[in-house]
Amino acid sequence: MNETISQDAPMACMDDFSSWILYEDENILVLDKPGWLVCHPSKNGPWSSLVGAAKEYLQLDTVHLASRLDRETSGVVLLAKHKKAASYWQKGIEFKKVRRKYLAILEGELPAGNTVSTFLGKDPDSEIYVKQRVTGNSRKAKSAETIFTPICSKNGYTFCSVATLTGRKHQIRIHAQWIDHCLVGEKLYGRDERIYLEFCKSGWQQEWANILGMSRQALHGRHLRDMETGVCFSAPLPEDFLLFLESEMKLSIQEIEECVSVSDELNFKDNG
Q: What is the percentage of the chain residues whose pLDDT exceeds 70?
A: 94
pLDDT at 122 over 80: yes
**Between residues 48 and 176, which one has the greater pLDDT?**
176
Model confidence at 213, in pLDDT bands (50, 70, 90)? very high
Whole-number Å distance between alpha carbons of 169 and 66: 15
pLDDT at 271 over 70: no
Per-residue pLDDT, 39: 92
Mean pLDDT for 70-93 is 96
Tens of pLDDT, residue by residue over 192-202, are 899 999 988 88
Which residue in 15, 16, 25, 70 is the catalytic one?
Answer: 70
Q: What is the pTM of this model?
A: 0.92
Mean pLDDT of all residues belonging to the chain: 92
Per-residue pLDDT, 127: 87
Whole-number Å distance between alpha carbons of 223 and 260: 12
Domains 9-95 and 98-272 share a fold: yes
Domain parsing of the chain, residue ranges: 9-95, 98-272
Element at 89 (helix H, strand E): helix 83-94
Per-residue pLDDT, 3: 47
Instruction: State which amino acid sits at residue 27.
Output: N
Cβ neighbours around 27 below 10 Å, total = 13
Tens of pLDDT, residue by residue over 8-44, are 568 888 999 999 999 999 999 999 999 999 998 877 8
User: Does domain 9-95 bear CATH number 3.30.2350.10?
Assistant: yes
Element at 202 (helix H, strand E): helix 193-202
pLDDT at 270 over 80: no
Instruction: State which amino acid sits at residue 246.
Output: E
Tens of pLDDT, residue by residue over 110-121, are 999 999 999 999
Q: Is the dihedral of CA 256, 260, 266, 272 positive or negative?
A: positive
Model confidence at 265, in pLDDT bands (50, 70, 90)? confident
Tens of pLDDT, residue by residue over 95-106, are 989 999 999 999
Tens of pLDDT, residue by residue over 146-189, are 999 999 999 999 999 999 999 899 999 999 999 999 999 999 99
pLDDT at 4 over 70: no
In the CATH scheme, what architecture does the domain 98-272 have?
2-Layer Sandwich (3.30)
Residue 210 CB burial class (10 angstroms; 0-12, 13-18, ≥19): exposed
Whole-number Å distance between alpha carbons of 64 and 67: 9
Inter-residue long-range contacts of 134-138, CB under 8 Å, 24+ positions, other chains counted: 134/174, 134/175, 134/178
Model confidence at 272, in pLDDT bands (50, 70, 90)? very low
DSSP conformation class of 183: B
Query: Under DSSP, is residue 104 helix (H, G, I), strand (E, B) or coil?
Result: strand
Whole-number Å distance between alpha carbons of 267 and 272: 8
Cβ–Cβ under 8 Å, residues 108 and 179:
no
Active site residue 32: no
Element at 162 (helix H, strand E): strand 157-164
Helices and strands counted in the chain (H then E): 8, 11
